[in-house]
Amino acid sequence: MRYVQDFSMEAARLHARLPAHKRAVERAAGRVREALAAAPGTWAVGCSGGKDSTAALAVAVEAGWRGPVFHFAYRGDYDPQPTANACALAVRWGLPFVMVEVASEMEAIDRVGADRFFAPGAVGQEAVTEAARWWERTYKAELTAFQERQGWTGIIMGMRREESMARAITISRKGWLYRVASRPGWTCCPLHDWSGRDVWAAILGRGLPYLARYDEAEDRVWERSDDAWFAPNVWARGMARRIQLRDPELWHALVERYPGLSQEL
């Protein structure tokens, strides 16, 4: 794993020197400037502390944007590093740091019941679906209410087509600058056409902090590392062991909250 990580880091640093990447950075910066000109006012950059939002924040700053760094954390999150990184980035550029806590996956599990959620087969799948719908509905409502109170003109996000089919569909339908009825203000996605290597080139080329969990990435060579533990039936396919090896902090938090999980091993 170390070899894969070191190889990928060097490849990303080399990618940062390529004219194609430099053009991608300039296109993204141009989108930020275009959004600010199209809708004057206070724009925030949404920064989770993850790789895409870190790159988006750097591009926005280089494009001349100045405004609040908006970070949302999940209540009771086991990992303090995303918040610490987002705050450090705000300090780095002398920007205001604004944070709100929203519903977590574990709150959703508690709501449907751990016995149902971690059960294999149809019972587990039904519970996961129920929990996921409640969680998405709840945390988005909390985010929307917070944004409405702030009165921002828009939010710059690190959303990319490559990350998921849902994001690709959203950007294909709405473009990189859009409004939706369910959320106040504009949304700008300047990195929508970036590759994962573009993201890492932007981060490593600027010496920006990144989450330690990315060092354990397997899929797509260090470009995405999250285990889809909050999904149907994965617990019947060895997810417990995978999390223990890949993210021991998450495993500890889950077992502490749901002691029965320790029997999975």
Predicted confidence (pLDDT) at residue 184 exceeds the cutoff of 90: no
pLDDT over 90 percentage in the chain = 57
- Residue 173 to residues 29, 160, 164, 229, Cα–Cα distance (Å): 22, 14, 14, 29
C-alpha to C-alpha distance for 64 and 33, rounded to whole angstroms? 8
> What digits encode the pLDDT tens for the residues 230-265?
765 666 667 777 778 777 888 888 888 888 777 654
What average pLDDT does the segment 187-194 reach? 97
Q: Tens digits of per-residue pLDDT, 38-66? A: 999 999 999 999 999 999 999 999 999 99
Give the Cα separation of 160 and 207 in Å (integer).
22
Digit-coded pLDDT (tens) for 33-45: 999 999 999 999 9
Q: Which has more pLDDT, 133 or 222?
A: 133
The pLDDT-based confidence of 228 (bands split at 50, 70, 90) is: low
- Residue in this structure with the two tokens 């533990």, named with its chain if needed: 229
Report the alpha-carbon distance of residue 97 to residue 100 in Å, rounded: 10
118: left (phi over 0), alpha (psi -120 to 50) or beta: alpha
Residue 128 predicted with pLDDT over 90? no
Residues 6+ apart with CB under 8 A from 196: 162, 220, 222, 223, 224
pTM of the entire predicted model: 0.85
Distance of CA 37 to the CA centre of its chain: 26
What's the rounded Cα separation, in Å, for the pair 109 and 132? 9
| Residue found under tokens 């949304």 | 187
Domains, the chain, ordered by start: 1-102+155-224 (3.40.50.620)
**Residue 1 or residue 156, greater confidence:** 156
Question: Which positions ≥6 away from 73 have C-beta within 8 Å?
Answer: 82, 83, 99, 100, 101, 102
**pLDDT of 6 higher than 70:** no
What does pLDDT average to over the chain? 87
pLDDT of 107 > 90? The answer is yes
pLDDT given for residue 263 in this prediction: 61
